[in-house]
Amino acid sequence: MTWSLLVIATAGIASMKAAVERGDLDEAARQGVLAGPVLVEQALASPDRATQLGAIAAAPAVEDRAELLDALAKVASGPDRRTAIPAAHAARAIARELSKRELPDDLAAEDLIGWRTTWAALAADRTRWIGLRVLALDTASALAADGAGLPLATALADPDPALRRAAIANVPMPVPVDQRAALAKVVVSDTDVQVALAAGSVLCTDLAVDPAQPILDVLGEPGLARLRTAVTAVEASKAARAEIKRCLTAARGR
């Protein structure tokens, strides 16, 4: 790097840091966009927290931001929760945006597979904070062609109900036929009522467009009985009750 480019790089990174120290994350993001993805990536690798936070704020807005997913994963895997969680938030935003459009010409499917693998590993790491694991799972799911950040069976076996709920939330809609039984098992046997409600809600949502009988069959009477109880729980949201009502109404009409 020439002296002039070094000066420009130093100034760009310093501007992001200064904005964070003033509490102005919008300005930090603007400075990062002006500095460009190369400098933002350099700032993500900085040992200085304010510099990293400035780069994290900028990451979802810079050009070629998908290529920052590896650098963000390194921050997210670090020991500082105050940078790790925001880095995972930024990565999720980038991944979700990427999933909504055609893959740019300068990215290959192998790139997405590599990023998905990295973020899936973070999601599976039970030593990490659960909030970070959920964000990592969302990121990996957005990068996966089938929407599965982790194998569904693996995620549903996790001891933390928050990760199980996140895995259910990422199941494609309508629910693939080969995933219905796993979700029905959750409805029947999961010890956390919110997880059971999430699984039931996802299954019963399919009744809006698909025949009821296949879903009712996979739930069986044990699943329907659990749903009848679960919808009366204080944890049941209005939305979950509305979706599960589809199944219960259809079951009464058989």
Give the DSSP per-residue string, 210-223: S-SHHHHHHHHHHH
For residue 67, being part of any structural domain is answered with: no
For residue 202, being part of any structural domain is answered with: yes
Q: Which domain holds residue 218?
A: 171-254
What pLDDT band is residue 9 in, cutting at 50, 70 and 90?
Answer: low
Return the SS3 of 24.
coil
Distance (Å, rounded) from C-alpha 71 to C-alpha 84? 11
Q: What is the tens place of the pLDDT at every residue in 151-210?
A: 999 999 999 999 999 999 999 989 999 999 999 999 999 999 999 999 999 999 999 888
For residue 232, being part of any structural domain is answered with: yes
Distance (Å, rounded) from C-alpha 243 to C-alpha 128? 33
For residue 6, being part of any structural domain is answered with: no
Give buried/exposed letters for 78-113 (b at 16+ CB in 10 A, else e): eeeeebbbbbbbbbbbbbeebeeeeeeeeeeeebbe
For residue 150, being part of any structural domain is answered with: no
In the DSSP assignment, the letter for residue 114 is H
Distance (Å, rounded) from C-alpha 254 to C-alpha 243? 18
**At which residue do the structure tokens 């957005």 appear?**
142
Our CA angle for 18, 21, 23, nearest 5°, is 115
Number of domains in the chain: 1
Across the chain, mean pLDDT equals 91
Q: Which secondary structure element, helix H or strand E, spans residue 143, and what is its range?
A: helix 130-143
Which pLDDT does position 41 carry in this prediction?
Answer: 93
Which pLDDT does position 18 carry in this prediction?
Answer: 86
Closest Cα to residue 233, out of 196, 203, 204? 196
* CA-atom Rg of the chain in angstroms: 22
Which pLDDT does position 5 carry in this prediction?
Answer: 42
Which pLDDT does position 219 carry in this prediction?
Answer: 97
For residue 198, being part of any structural domain is answered with: yes
Q: What is the tens place of the pLDDT at every residue in 205-246?
A: 999 888 999 999 999 999 999 999 999 999 899 999 999 999
Is the pLDDT score of 8 beyond 70? Answer: no
For residue 41, being part of any structural domain is answered with: no
What pLDDT band is residue 90 in, cutting at 50, 70 and 90?
Answer: very high
For residue 239, being part of any structural domain is answered with: yes
Q: Please report, in angstroms and rounded to a whole number, the separation of the first and last CA atoms in the chain.
A: 74
